[in-house]
């Protein structure tokens, strides 16, 4: 719970500052990049979480990595976070900022999981179908999971539509485990 409050407060502060300076689009892209780096690079996360590495060293490392790629406001914000010894929360702050930006812009994220990569026509059909249920813009994230065998799983907000072969097999297993035979003798 504490982590959520901290990340939400810092993300909100950055979001309001970015709006005030009219660089929210740029900072949004920066926060997506930072979240992706944190998610994909284990060594980077370990460096941020390490109490052995000093604050100034962490600041130098982040400056080397991000100085040419992100907005000055984003970089200054990262330096403040590190100075305050909150670098553990950088990934969470970035993800919270992305969510705040999407809410402000009216963008809903939908995730579709398929056994093989979906083609462009299928993605377009899914987006059109989702647009009939909401007035928000739809951002479709595609995940490929071979274990669902076939079909798809579509997630939007807190709702999930599971039309996968794996789900159907699991339902059949449950039905077969129920013994409907009654002994009457």
Residues 90 and 115 in one domain: no
Residue 184 lies in a domain: no
Residues 79 and 165 in one domain: no
The chain-wide mean pLDDT, for the chain, equals 90
Residues 74 and 122 in one domain: no
Q: What is the CATH number of the domain that holds 46?
A: 1.10.520.20
Residue 61 lies in a domain: yes
Rounded to an integer, the average pLDDT of 29-57 is 94
Span of 115-119, 123-127, 181-185 with lowest mean pLDDT: 181-185
SS3 state of residue 182: coil
Residue 182 lies in a domain: no
* Locus of tokens 């899914």: 126
Report pLDDT for 178: 80
Residues 150 and 92 in one domain: no
Residues 126 and 146 in one domain: yes
Band (2; pLDDT cuts 50, 70, 90): low
Residues 95 and 124 in one domain: no
Segments forming the whole domain that contains residue 164: 107-175
pLDDT(44) > 70 = yes
Band (182; pLDDT cuts 50, 70, 90): low
Report pLDDT for 11: 95
pLDDT(104) > 80 = yes
Q: CA dihedral defined by 136, 24, 74, 3, rounded to 10 degrees? A: -40
Number of structural domains, the chain?
Answer: 2
Span of 11-25, 79-93, 119-133 with lowest mean pLDDT: 119-133
Residue in 174, 125, 183 with CA at minimum distance from that of residue 152? 125
Residues 33 and 84 in one domain: yes
Q: Indicate the pTM of the whole model.
A: 0.77
Report pLDDT for 1: 36
Residue 44 lies in a domain: yes
Q: How many CB atoms lie within 10 A of CB 173?
A: 9
């Amino acid at each position: 719970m504490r982590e959520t409050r901290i990340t939400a407060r810092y993300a909100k502060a950055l979001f309001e500052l970015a709006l005030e300076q009219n660089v929210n689009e740029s900072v949004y892209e920066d926060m997506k990049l930072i979240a992706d780096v944190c998610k994909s690079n284990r060594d980077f996360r370990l460096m941020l979480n390490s109490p052995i590495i000093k604050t100034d060293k962490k600041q130098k490392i982040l400056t080397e990595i991000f100085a040419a790629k992100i907005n000055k406001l984003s970089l200054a914000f990262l330096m403040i976070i590190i100075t305050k010894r909150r670098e553990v929360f950088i990934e969470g702050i970035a993800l919270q900022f992305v969510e705040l930006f999407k809410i402000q812009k009216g963008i809903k994220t939908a995730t579709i999981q398929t056994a093989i990569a979906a083609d462009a026509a299928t993605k377009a059909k899914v987006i059109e179908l989702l647009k009939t249920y909401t007035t928000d813009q739809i951002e479709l994230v595609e995940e490929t999971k071979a274990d669902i065998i076939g079909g798809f799983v579509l997630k939007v907000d807190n709702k999930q539509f599971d039309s996968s072969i794996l789900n159907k097999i699991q339902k059949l297993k449950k039905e077969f485990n129920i013994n409907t035979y009654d002994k009457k003798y």
